[in-house]
Amino acid sequence: MFSIASITYSRLSDFLPIRRLLTIGLLTLGLAAVAGFLSTNFIFLLIVRIVQASGAGAVMSLSLVLFTRYVPLDRRGKAMATIMSAVSLGLGLGPVAGGAITQYFGWNWLFAVTAFILLLVPLFLVLLPKELPSRGSFDAVGGIFLGIGTTGLLLFLTSGLWIALVAGIAAIFLFVSRIRTTPDPFVMPALFKNRSYCIQFSDFQISGNEGAVQRVKGFVTMTKSKMWGYFRGGL
């Protein structure tokens, strides 16, 4: 979901204002965190995590679009380094901070920390440049085919489900056929002639979904015993 949301919001930013899209992404991430904090059902909690991933993917991709569009070329390297340093710092501190919060406050408070991002929405509405939407179309069918394809391949690699492999390959073929025939494809076919882009695109799709799977596995492992005790206490 993270990688699909990243590509989707990046494509939408071609004709919709970044300010509006980033607000939607932040609200999705923050409101899903509030729902996760109040969750008492494990299935609902997993759904909330999927919604959170879509918001996180939007924020990540739009931040890159934002600096490439508005930061001058001579300062772009510094801006990129700042963003990537912040991401690396978050990846390093996240497991440590998350473990401490779960140990001393409970798993619910992991969502409470993320919910504070809602406080940034008014700030972004004031600071981000205002843009006017332009005419354009979005290939939702192509996005669905791509999402099914990458998810199916990932499920096969992680779980060995042959039906997922068949569905993934079929969806990828449909995606390729779609982008060759539709006027405004989800991804321009000419980009796939660039070998470097193909490698980065495949790595981004697989690693993004793989990272989401590993985060869910880690979260489930870390909170399973605490949640079981919580739900048993509620009974």
Give me the phi and psi of 17, to 5 degrees please: -60, 135
pLDDT, average across residues 213-226: 45
Please say if the pLDDT value at position 60 is more than 70. yes
- Identify the weakest region by mean pLDDT among 81-90, 99-108, 112-121, 172-181: 81-90
pLDDT, average across residues 124-152: 83
pTM: 0.70
| CATH fit for domain 2-138, picks 1.20.1250.20, 3.40.50.300, 1.10.4190.10, 3.40.309.10 | 1.20.1250.20
- What does the pLDDT read at residue 226? 46
Cα–Cα distance, 223 to 100 (Å, whole number): 12
- Identify the weakest region by mean pLDDT among 32-41, 188-197, 201-210: 201-210
Closest by Cα among 154, 149, 148, 142 to 206: 154
Higher pLDDT among residues 58 and 196, named by residue: 58
For the chain, give the mean pLDDT.
Answer: 78
Q: End-to-end alpha-carbon separation of the chain, Å? A: 33
Please say if the pLDDT value at position 21 is more than 80. yes
Q: With bands split at pLDDT 50, 70 and 90, how would you rate the model's confidence at 218?
A: very low
pLDDT tens readout for residues 149-205: 888 888 888 888 889 889 989 998 998 888 888 887 877 777 666 665 555 555 555
Percent of the chain with pLDDT over 90: 9
Cα–Cα distance, 7 to 80 (Å, whole number): 18
- What does the pLDDT read at residue 201? 52
- What does the pLDDT read at residue 231? 42
Contacts of 152 (CB under 8 A, 6+ apart): 164, 165, 166, 167, 168, 169, 171
- What does the pLDDT read at residue 193? 67
